[in-house]
């Protein structure tokens, strides 16, 4: 059997398919998912499964460089916001308007995972990154100085390659 957290075969396939900078959206039951999106629908009933335990399971297998959270989640659903932030301790988090998550980010996401969460604005954009310490553990490879922040956690200060200051990219 599999050693890590996720048992869902399609979630495992989705995570394995992500490259550096690809995004996965973890969303609530009401999120408008584009017709052509790779949709993994976990929703069974109200709050089944809830978003927070699904995020915790994903974080056991997914290496995340940055996350986008809706401003509205922080402002109008602060308890859920804090639960999500607590599950992303080494991830650079940026806040954007919910409309940007619904429109722009949903159109760009490689995969969208729908939960049964009945929780307003609980929609998270997660950007993948290689597991940097493992990526550079081969004898003879050197970690570039500009990647040191990534090696110690995930890009905490926004100096990782490809960062242009706009929504984490």
Q: pLDDT tens digit string along 56-74?
A: 999 999 999 999 999 999 9
The whole-model pTM stands at 0.84
Considering only residues 130 and 28, tell me which one the structure prediction assigns the higher pLDDT: 28
Q: Which residue has the higher pLDDT, 158 or 55?
A: 55
**Considering only 2-16, 42-56, 76-90, which range has the smallest mean pLDDT?**
2-16
Choice among 20, 95, 98, 163 that is catalytic: 20
Structure tokens that stand for 26 in this block: 């973890």
Chain position carrying tokens 């998912």 = 33
20: annotated active-site residue? yes
Please give the Cα distance from 54 to 167 (Å, whole number): 24
Q: Please choose, from the candidates 61, 65, 94, the residue with its C-alpha nearest in 3D space to the C-alpha of residue 161.
A: 65
Average confidence (pLDDT) over 124-153: 78
């Amino acid at each position: 059997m599999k050693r890590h957290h996720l048992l869902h075969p399609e979630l495992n396939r989705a995570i394995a398919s992500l490259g550096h900078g690809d995004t996965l959206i973890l969303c609530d039951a009401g999120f408008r998912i584009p017709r052509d999106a790779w949709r993994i629908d976990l929703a069974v009933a109200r709050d089944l499964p809830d978003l927070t335990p699904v995020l915790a399971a994903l974080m056991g297998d997914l290496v995340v460089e940055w996350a986008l959270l809706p401003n509205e989640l922080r402002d109008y659903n602060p308890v859920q916001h804090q639960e999500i932030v607590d599950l992303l301790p080494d991830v650079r988090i940026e806040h954007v308007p919910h409309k940007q998550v619904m429109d722009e980010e949903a159109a760009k996401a490689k995969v969208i995972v729908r939960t049964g969460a009945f929780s307003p604005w609980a929609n998270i954009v997660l950007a993948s990154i290689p597991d940097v310490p493992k990526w550079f553990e081969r004898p003879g490879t050197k970690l570039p100085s500009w990647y040191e922040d990534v090696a110690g956690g995930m890009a905490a200060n926004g100096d990782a390659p490809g960062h242009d200051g706009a929504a984490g990219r």
